[in-house]
A = this chain, B = another copy of it.
Amino acid sequence: MSTFGTHFRVTTFGESHCKGVGCVIDGCPPGLALTEDDIQPQLTRRRPGQSNLTTPRDEKDRVTILSGTEFGHTLGTPIGLTVPNQDQRPHDYTETDLFPRPSHADWTYLLKYGLKASSGGGRASARETIGRVAAGAVAEKFLKEAYGTEFIAFVSSVGKVAMPFIEEQSETGVPSEEFVEMLSTVTREQIDAEATRCPDKEISKKMTQRIIDAKEANDSIGGTVTCVIRNVPTGLGEPCFDKLEAKLAHAMLSIPATKAFEIGSGFGGTQVPGHLHNDAWVQKTGRKGQKFLGTKTNFSGGIQGGISNGENIYFRIGFKSPATISQEQQTTSYGGVEGVLATRGRHDPCVVPRATPIVEAMAALVIMDAVMIQLARHGAASLLPPMPETPLRPAPFIMSVPGGQAIKVDETSKPKTE
């Protein structure tokens, strides 16, 4: 429903036309330095009115921490957060009292709840995502401090204007080497330098034009967001039903307007034969000189068998063209009468630029929860007496980011079958 996560758990509330939105974060580890200043930047990146590409609905979106911190540190108790709704203009929506907006949630909310709120599908509003972004900023801060984990989402396509993701000419259909390498280096600063949030300046220019075209036509356009997670601890993800990619897909498709998710080589990878698609193991050298097993290629996207292997996790999400457009649309009223709907109001012609902090937030929530579950298992297993020599434990059991700490196989406890 409106709660996400098991250990690090966020519960959101609020819709477009009520007094405020917010969330409760439960299970945040105690002792994390945290003030509103850690949360506000991502809310500001999310909020409307940032550029001529987004809706002019200008809300300040100032967050207040109500509980759960003292002396600028988390107490371990629930963190209540609110953001008031300052800029309510319910009258913009009056025409929708007659017509359910096509491809919007007006009709389905009526089907689900038997009620027609003034905002139509109120919780389907992008405004609901404020609580997610706030909670994600807290998770992201923890993971940065604990593991150096980084979450970077950017716009990889707008309509047909796309960054070169797949080598289309090749036989392979998998992510190009340049794209995968770029994932290791791209920064949030590069991304924010463009109003489109696409780090490739040339393509960003074309994307900008595509969005302006849509805006001027009172139309809208979709796109994709790619997200990379770097410095991920190994061992995250719970077989069988809570595989890490399953949780990421769940999280991403819970963002409004999303229609598609792929991880690593994704749909393109289904066309590549196994001998080319398999990621061979290679020994790599970490920052401190330690040796660890990594993969030569990374078509797996950093997850194998539902569990993180320490390589970069990357995935792509498809966002449809926003349903609310100012163009006249031939459709049918709640009462079954055909007619023409032209929605007024403030709407994004393209949501992907503003969606990037939401994607980062949801990714951080998934990783944070998975980290705490694995810490529980790892902590418990570490309390047990040492195992006798069996083929079962060929290596010490540690939980880390591989580049930062060695995962060393103990050659002396080799399996009997050697």
Q: Mark the stretch among A50-58, A193-201, A299-307 that contacts chain B.
A: A299-307
Hey, which chain B residues are within 8 Å of A415, CB to CB? 97-98, 116
Complex: A302 Cα to B13 Cα, angstroms: 26
What's the minimum C-beta distance from A394 to chain B, rounded to whole angstroms? 6
In the assembled complex, A374 has its CB within 8 A of some CB on chain B: yes
A291 to B338, CA, bound (A): 13
The 6 nearest A-B residue pairs measured at CB: A105-B305, A114-B397, A220-B274, A375-B379, A222-B270, A260-B262
CA distance in complex: A291, B308 (Å): 42
Number of copies: 4
CB atoms of B114 and A31 under 8 A apart? yes
Tell which of A249, A299, A325, A378 has the most Cβ of chain B within 10 Å: A249
Interface residues on chain A, size class: 35 or more
Q: Is the beta-carbon distance between B241 and A3 smaller than 8 angstroms?
A: yes
Mark contacts of A229-260 with chain B using CB atoms, 8 A cut-off: 1 yes-contact digit, 0 otherwise. 00000111111111101111111111010111
The docked-state distance in angstroms from the alpha carbon of A259 to that of B262 is 6
- 5 interchain pairs (CB within 8 A)? A20-B66, A24-B24, A108-B305, A214-B273, A335-B411
In angstroms, Cα B321 to Cα A313, docked, is 19
CA distance A398 to B102 in the complex (A): 21
Interface readout for A365-399 with B: 1 if CB under 8 Å, 0 if not? 00000011111111111011101001111111100
- A325–B272 Cα distance when bound, in Å, is 13
- For residue A167, CB closer than 8 A to chain B, the reply is no
- A203 lies within 8 A of chain B by Cβ: no
> Which single member of B14, B300, B318, B329 contacts A269 (CB below 8 Å)?
B318
A147 CB-CB contact with B under 8 Å: yes
User: Does A360 touch B at the CB level, under 8 Å?
Assistant: no
Is B239 within 8 A of A123, CB to CB?
yes
- Interface residue? A190 (CB, 8 A): no
A48 an interface residue at 8 Å Cβ cutoff? no
Of all chain B residues, which has the CB nearest A17?
A: B70
Q: Quick check: is A359 within 8 A (CB to CB) of the other chain?
A: no
Specify which chain B residues have a CB less than 8 angstroms from the CB of A209 in the assembled complex. none
B378 touching A7, Cβ below 8 Å: no
